[in-house]
Structure 1
Amino acid sequence: MTHLIRGPRALLSAVLFIFACGLAPVPALAAFVPGTEDVPLAPGLVAAPDDALVFDNPTGRIVQSTATGQAGIDAVTRFYAETLPQLGWTRGADGRWTRQAEVLDIAIQPQGGRLTVRFQLSPRDPAP
């Protein structure tokens, strides 16, 4: 007898059953850059939640946050190059990411065997 999984509830039930039985490792919850709910934190980076500066105004949100970790610069760069386009971000010629009315700057700096990654999210300048 063949059993088919139909619909999202059935699929979720099947996945939860597999994890509960120990047939697959439980995935880690996705972490996001503090102050955002839509900019993922690259694996290997840790951000202090109290470090984020968040400001909302009528023209959009402004977020400044920092994360550090042992991750390699190439791995972090590749993570954002692969992940952000899936979330609707487009990389510009200047290296900044844009999505709708927002701009995201990501600066990666090696410091003594660790990386410091600075995120700055701000409203996009309106076209002249």
Structure 2
Amino acid sequence: MTAHSALARAALAAALLLSAPAVAAAAEPASFVTGMGDVPAMPGLTSAENGALVFDKPGGRIVESVMHGAVDRKAVLGFYAQTMPQLGWKPVGNSRFVRDGEELRLEFPGGEAKAGLTTVRFVLKPK
């Protein structure tokens, strides 16, 4: 684990504890998007059953992971807009972030929530 990664995990833990209600923070440990150990999973989102696609190549890693939950799309965007800069990610538009030669995109397949569930695809790739 690099110093940057350890610092990012510590900052993430602090951000999640500050952004979640005290009872939920005490009951649930901080979790991360599957395959992306330094990208937090928003409270209320859970990993889809198919897991993550992870490709590690000389030019950088490529990771795709899908999560869903009974959360509003605007709340998802707000959570990541607030949390990611604290972890060193620079916002580029509404649902994109860049850091250290990587780009993270949040995609919402299928558009608006279906049956009260919002699906979020996290795509991480070299910039």
TM-score clears 0.5: yes
- Measured in 1, the distance between the counterparts of 2:95 and 2:31 equals 23
State the alpha-carbon separation in 1 of the partners of residues 93 and 74 from structure 2.
19
* Residue matched to 2:121: 118
Task: Identify if the C-alpha distance between structure 1 residues 32 and 49 changes in structure 2 by more than 3 Å, giving closer, same or farther.
Answer: farther
Alpha carbons 1:34, 1:49 under 8 Å: kept: no
After the TM superposition, which of the residue ranges 90-99 and 55-64 deviates more from structure 2? Answer: 90-99
Deviation at 1:57, TM superposition (A): 0.7
1-structure distance, mates of 2:55, 2:49: 15
| Structure 2 match to 1:85 | 85
CA distance in 1, matches of 2:58, 2:66: 24
What do you get for the CA RMSD once the two structures are aligned? 1.8
Larger CA Rg, structure 1 vs 2: 1
- TM-score of the aligned structures, taking structure 2 as reference length: 0.72
Structure 1 residues 88 and 48, CA gap change in structure 2 (3 angstroms): same
Q: Which runs of structure 1 show a deviation greater than 6 angstroms over 4 or more consecutive aligned residues?
A: none
Give, in angstroms, the shift of residue 39 of structure 1: 0.5
Partner of residue 57, structure 2:
57
Which blocks of at least 5 consecutive residues in structure 2 are unaligned? Answer: 1-21
Q: Report the AA paired with residue 41 of structure 1.
A: A
Select the structure that is richer in helix.
2
Structure 2: distance between partners of 1:86 and 1:36? 16
String of CA shifts for 1:1-55, please: whole Å, max 9, x gaps: xxxxxxxxxxxxxxxxxxxxxxx85352111110011000111100036420001
Inter-partner Cα distance in structure 2 for 1:106 and 1:27 = 27
TM-score, normalized by length of structure 1? 0.71
Deviation at 1:118, TM superposition (A): 0.4
Q: Deviations over 1:90-116 (max 9, x none)?
A: 111474210011000101342231100
Q: Percent identity?
A: 46
- Stretches of structure 1 lacking an aligned partner (at least 5 in a row): 1-23
Which gives a bigger RCO, structure 1 or 2 (Cα 8 Å, sep 6+)?
2
